[in-house]
Amino acid sequence: MNLMASYIDIDRCNFIPLSATMLCACRCRPSSKTLVFVHPSSKSKLGVVSDGSRSIIRLRPRFGITARGRVLTAVARAEPNHVDEGDVREEVDKGHNPVRMESLVPEQQQQKGSQLKKRVVFGLGIGISVGGVVLAGGWVFTVALATAVFVGAREYFELVRSNGIAKGMTPPPRYVSRACSVFCAIMPILTLYFGHIDISVTSAAFVVAMSLLLQRGNPRFAQLSSAMFGLFYCGYLPCFWVKLRCGLAAPALNTQIGATWSILLGGQAHWTVGLVATLISFSSIIAADTFAFLGGKTFGRTPLTHISPKKTWEGAIAGLSGCIATVLVLSKIFCWPTSLLSATAFGFLNFVGSLFGDLIESMIKRDAGVKDSGSLIPGHGGILDRVDSYIFTGALAYSFVKTLLPLYGV
């Protein structure tokens, strides 16, 4: 029996006064009063026992049978801090164990605490690993990015094939989805090897389009559009991180950390503009997510968009403030960029890219009817759930440093 499935219309109920002993199995006071509400179209009775300080509400089936043979008792107390165990007991029907609603609250709190612990542990592990990969750069960074891109592309095409999205469109065949995932993973590697993205993207798009046109049956435009967006979203955009980290090889001359960097790890030449920009951008995105979460939990009142109901304007303002503050602090540490205005603009762009990347992934998951894109990372969901804020940010950060900062901000 689903106890929360319907409401009891008191106006249409028949009021039957009974003595306290007819419904209450606990030790009620003689002065207590009992009312039974019987809905004409319902198979249940609602009994209320009141003695002025507390009331006991019982839902009993008209024929004495409940789901799994149990009777639920909800107890409302005027003074919750003073509980008399003799006055509060569960009613047992036909020898079955009673269900205590109060016991569900500690269990839920324990589950939330366990999930939070998983999020923190795995979040710290991921952060340390990503920091090491960014410092290593080169093929280590590119191969790690290609691996994440491949997993993220597989999650994206699984979302496209979900019931929520597939009802309104025709998803691409599985062999096309798998081929697109492979192409997306190869794109960062080709970007590092050739130094640009044009060849890999156009070649992959041509192969995918031809395979869709030559497939058996009736090719649909929805298949082509979802596959092309997958190549753009999961393959093309992440390649800008390779161009930012590995392509901007100009030395960050003002960075004092490079002067003390071990020669075995590359010395001062290892600290390039691309490395510093990537570290600052990654750190600012993490700060934006963290401050937005804390600000939304504490001050969130005004919804930001219906795409993600939990996001609020207050949280977005807190995220923007935290993102810009992080960039300003790190710009003083790394002495890059040297201009205060440039550092502020860089932080603003990182926040905008992270916010809209998160909203776009939320839109895809909403249409797919799922909460998480996957279950690869315990407590965090899938790869796309963790990297959605980075997908568009790499292109914005690279374009800002490459075209708007004179001499790459040095």
Q: Which residues contact 113 (CB under 8 A, 6 or more apart)?
A: none
pLDDT: which is higher, 316 or 216: 316
Check whether 268 has a pLDDT greater than 70.
yes
How many Å apart are CA 55 and CA 326, to the nearest integer? 54
Check whether 32 has a pLDDT greater than 60.
no
What is the average pLDDT value for the chain, to the nearest integer? 77
Check whether 334 has a pLDDT greater than 50.
yes
Check whether 293 has a pLDDT greater than 60.
yes
Mean pLDDT of 327-340: 93
Check whether 142 has a pLDDT greater than 60.
yes
Q: 381, 374 in Cβ contact below 8 A?
A: yes
Lowest mean pLDDT among 8-22, 37-51, 136-150, 186-200: 8-22
**pLDDT per residue as tens digits for the range 294-313:** 999 999 999 999 888 889 99
Strand partners, 75: 56
Q: Which helix (H) or strand (E) holds 138?
A: helix 138-160
Cβ-defined contacts of 219-227 (< 8 Å, 24+) = 220/169, 220/170, 222/169, 222/170, 222/171, 223/170, 223/171, 223/172, 223/173, 223/176, 224/172, 226/160, 226/169, 226/171, 226/172, 227/172, 227/176, 227/177, 227/180
How many Å apart are CA 343 and CA 329, to the nearest integer? 9
Lowest mean pLDDT among 7-21, 324-338, 339-353: 7-21
How many Å apart are CA 377 and CA 380, to the nearest integer? 5
How many Å apart are CA 393 and CA 387, to the nearest integer? 10
Check whether 387 has a pLDDT greater than 80.
yes
**pLDDT per residue as tens digits for the range 72-126:** 333 333 334 444 444 434 443 444 444 444 554 566 666 666 666 776 776 788 8
Q: How many CB atoms within 10 Å of residue 203?
A: 14
Both structure tokens of 334: 């790394």
Check whether 284 has a pLDDT greater than 90.
yes
Check whether 40 has a pLDDT greater than 90.
no
pLDDT: which is higher, 392 or 78: 392
Both structure tokens of 50: 């009141």
For the chain, what are the domain ranges? 10-99, 106-409
**pLDDT per residue as tens digits for the range 203-217:** 899 999 999 988 887
Both structure tokens of 169: 């469109």
Phi-psi region for residue 195, left (φ > 0), alpha (ψ -120 to 50) or beta? left
Q: Residue 346: which pLDDT band, with cuts at 50, 70 and 90?
A: very high
Mean pLDDT of 155-166: 86
Three-state helix/strand/coil letters over 72-90? EEEEEECCCCCCCCCCCCC
Check whether 351 has a pLDDT greater than 90.
yes
Percent of the chain with pLDDT over 70: 70
Mean pLDDT of 241-268: 85
Most confident range (mean pLDDT) of 38-42, 71-75, 201-205 is 201-205
Query: What is the per-residue pLDDT for 13?
Result: 43
How many Å apart are CA 363 and CA 370, to the nearest integer? 11
How many Å apart are CA 273 and CA 333, to the nearest integer? 14
Both structure tokens of 162: 């979900």
Residue in 139, 119, 349, 103 with CA at minimum distance from that of residue 242: 139
Query: What is the per-residue pLDDT for 114?
Result: 67
Residue in 132, 144, 158 with CA at minimum distance from that of residue 375: 158
Query: What is the per-residue pLDDT for 30?
Result: 43
Check whether 388 has a pLDDT greater than 70.
yes
Query: What is the per-residue pLDDT for 108?
Result: 67
Query: What is the per-residue pLDDT for 186?
Result: 95
